[in-house]
Structure 1
């Protein structure tokens, strides 16, 4: 899914000042594959490259507010999101000469990364800052800055968090099948799970509630639909 939007520009960055950027890594499930949201930059640096959606934090705005503003701009202001990590690789100078560039060619920019989960049924809203595209994780292009490193770290963090929390339910629509829930776990973890053991663990935990409704798949046997019970769940 792609949204063509009005090009944007980053504020001027002084090479002698430290600036902060907010870079959210947003995951969703599309056609039984884990995807991440990318934006094609239409401005320098890295014009024409794919990158994470994000923004330079203004001096009079809190980081979380900048992040929420970016999410609201693309219609995802109410999704689950958590702070990930700070990424900093400053440029190195020798005798006043640049010896090794930092993570941003404009100067020292520290990235405060977040990661969020977008339910499979959600659609992107009107955006105003670039071209947005859901990209399969196994087909990532070369990314601007150090955004590939950020995406890889976010995936590692998600794979760990999914084992001791109920965060996987944030990838699902309000009503789902146990097969759909298991598929979400498998796509995030990158491995197949035993169907019987998975269902027993989920049902015994009380983390799902049967809705009384069933799927309507034509000639296929209807499957029971469940909803999240809004409680903790440890899969490991």
Structure 2
């Protein structure tokens, strides 16, 4: 009943007001436990998603592609994969869409950096940068996503992962490891990951082998509300992303 009342009230607000309120609601909440975030979506965010979906300025999927090109950061999400490794630095998490039909989810992980107790010890350890690259296209007014590869790099914690660094890494991997195979329709069938425990590798492999579904509940030049589903029998995940470039 609360959601119905909220939805009725929200219908009288401007789109910009709804966007601002939604971002205020999720501020500093992306580090909460997944179960808490799922409940938070159901109890608090769902009315905003529903109301903004009615105002989506780009409901035709093929028209969404030029809108999403560029760099985005997920400020809140219920995708379990985002925290498959500990210590994700949220300000260094990027979704980069290129015009060649490829995009990458890139994040830096620095375990222990949030804890003052562990910070001195972990400061000597390298940061771990993870990239999940995917290809995208539109078929029958739907996004079609296929995983291309998962890549990793160990780097100094003292040097932040900037947008330029992430985009350069993405472009370099495409040119040196993906381009020829991608153009010939030959995508890697197995993962080659090093220095990760077997349990984490299995999680990454499961993600890589899936064919996820993606839908923009709402998308404009600076905000994306995204519904994704790794498998048909899996609970949908929701992501709020803001444009960085």
- With normalisation by structure 2, the TM-score equals 0.26
Greater gyration radius: 1
Judging by fraction of residues, say which structure has more helix: 2
- With normalisation by structure 1, the TM-score equals 0.27
